[in-house]
Structure 1
């Protein structure tokens, strides 16, 4: 009986967010949203159902995904933005996650927890951002550019007009204010390289 009740509640929650599918239909970038959905379902280790059911599940149960979805919609076209503004009155975005609308973000971004996180940067594909992360301006010189397959873990700060290469891991609570080469792991305050191309090192960022 309990499982039946849970099933009914789950179905109702999906039906509640189903009007957001209008935004998906209006989007000019549905392939990116589909890919985002696929990545989130895999990273959350959820059963893989139909793409639309997966999308509705994420919109209902994961407010961080809803913010990313809204970012994709805002990037689409004027009609999408108008409908988005109306639907956001009812379907509120996650209040503790900020993704700047000017940011260009590649497909497959995964936001784990997303609490107290700010993204104000251009990012490549298949990136992963944990909670309490700030990626953005340090001063007027500019903001970061993040490569593909970059993971920025809990509490890290990536600041200023810098470039972070592909396949980089930024350790917890690291503060990155200089360029990071590809295929590196960086940690510390200020951040330095502890692994490059799979080999342990101890190198400053320059």
Structure 2
């Protein structure tokens, strides 16, 4: 367990340039605080306790604004940046060296029993506000853009954006070359639909004007 905690602390320094020293990290990083609570509550959960681990997780939520169910399985090197509003469900499985930003939800889609939360592979990055829902698998080295909603499996070495989430980069090559993956210019499906409707309207208007011209000549 101590090796895992050491890897969690090292992850802060590796992925947050604002981290200055070990004392600052231990005293001020809520993502690390909630993870320490979770490491302990998960041990209690695995030996069959239920109420005490849930109490510990709710205490951690009160203190940090981050909710991690004690049943969630989280490997070493996990990093939550900022963290407020992060929710991780009971049957979630998270691999090594995963990074979550604020507002991320790793949740379920209903009231079904059993495995109902995502499985996240190694070296995955989930952007701010993204939702990964259901018993789906996000494979290794996947990047999920801010605000995306992912409801289906994602193959490794892919980048996913949008609502619903869709792959825009696979193995370093763009699936949609016309799009640039910038946080200020992520795909907007509502805007895309409005543009499509506008184009249909223009075609219809052109067709109507064309018919009127023919009628006048007749």
When normalised by structure 1's length, the TM-score is 0.71
CA contact (8 A) 1:146 1:164 kept: yes
User: In 2, are the aligned partners of 1:168 and 1:185 still within 8 Å (CA)?
Assistant: yes
1:201/1:131 Cα in 2 relative to 1: closer, same or farther (>3 Å)? same
- The structural deviation recorded for 1:74 is 2.0
Q: Partner of 2:68 in structure 1?
A: 99
- 1-structure distance, mates of 2:140, 2:56: 36
Partner of 2:105: 134
Partner of 1:37: 9
Deviation string, structure 1 residues 73-123 (Cα, Å, up to 9, x no partner):
223357xx9x999999x9986341101110000111111110111012110
Question: Which one has a bigger Cα radius of gyration?
Answer: 2
Equivalent pair of 2:78/2:96 in contact (CA under 8 Å): yes
Cα distance, 1:183–1:91 mapped onto 2, change above 3 Å = closer
Gaps of 5+ in 2: 177-218
1:122 counterpart (72, 75, 93): 93
What whole-Å deviation, never above 9, does each CA across 1:141-168 have from its counterpart, x for those lacking one?
6111000000000110000010000000
Aligned to 1:64: 31
Q: 1:136 to 1:124 in 2, by over 3 A?
A: same
Shift of 1:43: 2.1
Distance verdict in 2 for CA 1:198–1:75, change over 3 Å: same
Q: CA 1:193/1:84 → structure 2, altered by over 3 Å: closer, same or farther?
A: closer
What TM-score does the superposition give when structure 2 sets the normalisation length? 0.68
Q: 1:92 to 1:173 in 2, by over 3 A?
A: closer
Q: Is 1:188–2:162 an aligned residue pair?
A: yes
**Alignment size in residue pairs:** 165
Q: Report if the CA contact (8 A) 2:87-2:105 is conserved.
A: yes
